[in-house]
Amino acid sequence: LARHLCLLFSAPLLRPRPSLTCKAGPEIQAFVIPHSHMDVGWVYTVQESMHAYASNVYSSVVEELSRVKSRKFIAVEQEFFRLWWVNVATDWHKKQVGQLLKEGRLEFIIGGQVMHDEAVTDVDDAILQLTEGHGFLYETFGVRPRFGWHVDPFGASATTPVLFALAGFDAHLISRIDYDLKDDMQKNKKLQFVWRGSPSLKEKQEIFTHTMDQFSYCTPSYLPFSNRSGFYWNGVALFPDPPKDGIYPNMSLPVTKETVELYAQTMVDNIKQRAQWFRTSHVLWPWGCDKQFFNASVQFMNMDVIMNYINTHSDKYGVAVQYATLQDYFQTVHQTNLSWDVRGNQDFLPYSTEPFQAWTGFYGSRNVLKGVARRASSLLYAAESLFTRYRISYPNGPVQKEWALDKLKALRWAVSEVQHHDGITGTESPKVADMYMEHLMQGMMGFKCNIYIFLIDKQSFVVVSDSGNVLEQHIIVYNPLAWNISTYINISVAYAMAVVLDDDGKAVPAQIQQSMESSTVYDLFFVVELGGLQYRMYIVQFPQSHCDTGSACGATHVARVVTFKKKNVSQWKRTGRKLLPVLNECYKLMFDQETNLLHSITDRQMRVRVQQDFWEYEANGDVHSGPISDNYIFTANGSAIPAYKSVAMEIVPGKVVSEIRQYFYREEEDKNHTYSVVTRVPVGFEGRLACFRLEQSYKVGPLEINRETVFRTRTSLKNNRTLFTDNNGYQMMKRTYKTFVNNTIARNYYPMVRAAYIQDDSSRVVFLSERAHGVASLSQGQLEVMLHRRLWNNQEWNLGYNLTLNDSSVVRPVLWMMLGSPSALSSIYQQEALQLQHRPVVMPIDQPQIVPDMPHPSFFSPLSYSPSCIHLSLLYYVLNISYSYARYACLNVYISFLGLNAPIRT
């Protein structure tokens, strides 16, 4: 090694150390890094995994590290470690963990609750799960993880290296990038580089990044002298119960005098092969794979013999090996003083493993779970800020702090857990998806208990005017954002007339109309004005007799539904002749009465042709007939086809919101529609943000089997098929259309977490999302969003693990559409995206009833200073009312200046 370093120091990019003495030694130094990749839910639930192997991993690893001083291990996902620490570890185990950490032989890597997905996670949720894990580690051990280990997420986002740099990481490690790109980087020894993931922060937040070679994070399992599992002597984990005799299937041949040379030669050959792809003579050799080291005594006992044999014969092999942690490896590479290529804010999305395996399907898999996960995150955001303000206002209030924090912790845990790369991605089995949903729903129920008690604190009641013998319902609306908002909210009621009063007893503008969902339900819209982090009570009265329009009833508009005849596609002739306008103060939408489709949108300056409808990709389900689609992979079996044969339309002109309802029927004779889209045009919000958004709510499904449904928007923009999408809701990425020999459609799909847009020199069309989707621009002026997928295939692997995505659910995502000049929208679309993500929390606190004098809480005053350019991303218990790690400087208060589009830590 020393001799090789001397040769390296002769390179012009290196700064030599004059004190170094050159001596003969091994040419290659291999750092053997023991690890176990443990998915926090994938095929099996967390509980099943804990029982089958995860508990044994930490128990047996700690025991084996304590037995032999040269051994080391890295621990990655904190959910399993925390469950082991709390429920399984003995006092002896805990004492040994502390000692191993001090000795640097056990190292926590990443330190997040999970190894989060990088494509469809929101940056706030990535911060949350990282802080949740780091807080536990700092509070328990006083340690801070320093390295990333993102070996399994399906593609690498440019947001993650920025986040890790902000969290103080020294280096980052990735693995899954396009097969052809990885091959090129290997050949040119460019697998290591300095990554500047943010175009605004640039070198201020850069991080050294190591890309794993083609063998990825698993030790090669193929051995020329054995057909078993290679270097995994503990075998394969068994579910639901481990074998009582300790003998697992596929256990490798033990290392004996007869096999040690064969094992050693195989390991050396692999190390030398890897060494050819890197600039230094130091090889990171990950030893482990999925669900490994649950029988660590067998693992270490065999590897000890191989490593001792190689080191004893290092002159023969030209290789030396040692157990190592990531710190050992990265510190040694750093000491070479090499200069590295700099990578800008380009990411590694999308990810393909071969020409017909583009991992872009998971952007749209399990749409319901994606929606619930984001909603739970939004409710957590609201709950934490509300709790903090409650403690400020009522430090001695009756709500027990510990009880409230337990509820918040449950929701934090659930939101953190689902960020796992087989969680929010939708790539898990149905029972694991059910586990995530159960934890999220339980957490949100706890939130509702919290917020109800905060807001209905009896000590804060005041009495308002007598309502008389009128049916009333009381609604509390909370604004979780740090700036003032003016918008409308929508609740379902059972009465055809309603009056809405604010906390001053004044009637507010409202609108009531027949619901499209049921003939016995009505939609009530009313305008809310809220300051930053403010809540207010609204009283909804339901007059049971004639309501005089000269009274408060005059503030409520009774909207009528106008129905248009269903139009069959086969009967379409010339279009654009009979256009019907729907307009507000910002837009004029024109609907074609010959097709019942949107025809164009005009803002204050320009008119853009816009047509929107549903299309479907037909997936192949037979592996013998060609490439298939599944949870992970989207393989377009030809171009998309229209998903409907006829369209019906209803328009509801309003004074708070005008509503256009479009129903799409798969066949002309169908009585029930398969798809619908409701476009809501806010009315009366001139000069306010709400004026610029067109809210579109979709209803999709249940789908036919092997269908992937997209909502396609075709415009007159000249965008050259160039698309802009957000990186985890953080910063925007330019996506230039690329042509491939195979699978071009799927390989031009990208994740949309909060926003996507297309534009030309004069116009921009923006879509904002409250959950993640896949998005593409496959032709001039077009943008399509994948809303839902239902797939089945006969691939043995998918069938064995129930990963075919036979999702028969009905999904109801929401997008906000905006149109205008690029300069006009660039200043507001990010703020609108946050308003969509953190919409007002609406809490009905009772059922309609006769209440003569209803006491209600005084409302929080708005923030005294709440500029719209500041977003309080996370308000982590800054009042010293939580865990001790609230004082730990790991992003506990994170402020984004939207104008700069860059985060600032405080």
In this model, does residue 893 exceed pLDDT 80?
Answer: no
Note the pLDDT of residue 869.
62
Helix (H, G, I), strand (E, B) or coil at 642: strand
In this model, does residue 390 exceed pLDDT 90?
Answer: no
In this model, does residue 244 exceed pLDDT 80?
Answer: yes
Q: Which of 353-357, 572-576, 783-787 has the lowest mean pLDDT?
A: 572-576
Cis upstream peptide for 350 (omega within 30°) = yes
Enumerate residues 6+ apart whose C-beta is below 8 A from 794.
621, 622, 623
- pLDDT tier at 661 (50, 70, 90 boundaries)? very high
Express each pLDDT in 854-875 by its tens digit: 455 555 567 655 566 666 655 4
Cβ neighbourhood burial of 795 (10 Å; 0-12, 13-18, 19+): middle
Express each pLDDT in 770-792 by its tens digit: 999 999 999 999 999 999 999 99
Q: Which of 349, 375, 401 is the endpoint of a domain?
A: 349
How many other CB atoms are there within 10 angstroms of residue 104's CB atom?
A: 11
Nearest to 149 by CA among 292, 29, 37: 37
CATH of residue 298:
3.20.110.10
Would 871 be classed as within a structural domain? no
- Of the candidates 39, 152, 613, 726, the residue annotated as catalytic is 152
Distance (Å) of CA 82 to CA 79, 93, 136, 437: 5, 13, 8, 21
Express each pLDDT in 266-316 by its tens digit: 999 999 999 999 999 999 999 999 999 999 999 999 999 999 999 999 999
Q: Which of 81-85, 111-115, 223-227, 327-331 has the lowest mean pLDDT?
A: 223-227
116 close to 753: Cβ distance less than 8 angstroms: no
Q: Which of 318-332, 394-408, 861-875 has the lowest mean pLDDT?
A: 861-875
**Sign (positive or negative) of CA dihedral 604, 606, 607, 610:** negative
Would 897 be classed as within a structural domain? no
Nearest to 330 by CA among 282, 272, 271, 270: 282
In this model, does residue 133 exceed pLDDT 70?
Answer: yes
Q: Which of 329, 349, 369 is the endpoint of a domain?
A: 349
Express each pLDDT in 16-70 by its tens digit: 333 333 345 679 999 999 999 999 999 999 999 999 999 999 999 999 999 999 9
Q: For residue 268, give the amino acid letter.
A: V
Distance (Å) of CA 731 to CA 98, 149, 897, 901: 40, 23, 12, 7
563 close to 593: Cβ distance less than 8 angstroms: no
Express each pLDDT in 359-368 by its tens digit: 999 999 999 9
In this model, does residue 756 exceed pLDDT 60?
Answer: yes
Which DSSP state fits 811? B
| Percent of the chain clearing pLDDT 90 (strictly above) | 79
Would 483 be classed as within a structural domain? no
807 close to 789: Cβ distance less than 8 angstroms: yes
Cis upstream peptide for 240 (omega within 30°) = yes
Would 294 be classed as within a structural domain? yes
Which residue did the predictor score with more confidence, 737 or 245? 737
Would 40 be classed as within a structural domain? yes
Would 502 be classed as within a structural domain? no
Distance (Å) of CA 498 to CA 489, 544, 685, 738, 770: 14, 10, 22, 54, 29
Note the pLDDT of residue 325.
98
In this model, does residue 177 exceed pLDDT 90?
Answer: yes
Helix (H, G, I), strand (E, B) or coil at 674: coil
Note the pLDDT of residue 605.
79
Mean pLDDT of the 438-455 span: 82
Q: Which of 140-149, 256-265, 452-461, 747-756 has the lowest mean pLDDT?
A: 452-461
In this model, does residue 749 exceed pLDDT 90?
Answer: yes
Q: Give catalytic status of residue 122 as yes or no.
A: no
CATH of residue 668:
2.70.98.30
CA distance 541 to 423: 43
Q: List residues bridging with 750 in a β-sheet.
A: 775
Note the pLDDT of residue 19.
36
494: left (phi over 0), alpha (psi -120 to 50) or beta: alpha
Average pLDDT along the chain? 89
870 close to 495: Cβ distance less than 8 angstroms: no
80 close to 323: Cβ distance less than 8 angstroms: no
Express each pLDDT in 452-488 by its tens digit: 666 665 334 343 444 556 789 999 999 999 999 999 9
Which residue did the predictor score with more confidence, 497 or 871? 497
- pLDDT tier at 545 (50, 70, 90 boundaries)? confident
Q: Which of 809, 838, 867 is the endpoint of a domain?
A: 838
- pLDDT tier at 877 (50, 70, 90 boundaries)? very low
CA distance 805 to 140: 40
Half-sphere exposure of residue 760: CA atoms within 13 angstroms, side-chain side: 13
Q: List residues bridging with 611 in a β-sheet.
A: 714
Q: For residue 386, give the amino acid letter.
A: L
Tell me how far apart the terminal alpha carbons of the chain are, to the nearest angstrom.
44
- pLDDT tier at 901 (50, 70, 90 boundaries)? very low
Domains contained in the chain, number: 2
In this model, does residue 691 exceed pLDDT 60?
Answer: yes
892 close to 874: Cβ distance less than 8 angstroms: yes
How many other CB atoms are there within 10 angstroms of residue 615's CB atom?
A: 17
Would 478 be classed as within a structural domain? no
Express each pLDDT in 214-228 by its tens digit: 999 999 888 888 878
Note the pLDDT of residue 465.
41
Q: Classify strands 841-844 and 471-478 as parallel, antiparallel or unpaired.
A: antiparallel
842 close to 466: Cβ distance less than 8 angstroms: no
In this model, does residue 596 exceed pLDDT 90?
Answer: yes
* pTM reported for the whole predicted model: 0.92
Note the pLDDT of residue 892.
34
Identify the domain containing residue 313 by its residue range.
Answer: 28-110+145-220+228-349
List the structure tokens of 457. 């604190």
613 close to 644: Cβ distance less than 8 angstroms: yes
Q: Which helix (H) or strand (E) holds 435?
A: helix 430-455
Would 651 be classed as within a structural domain? yes
- pLDDT tier at 229 (50, 70, 90 boundaries)? confident
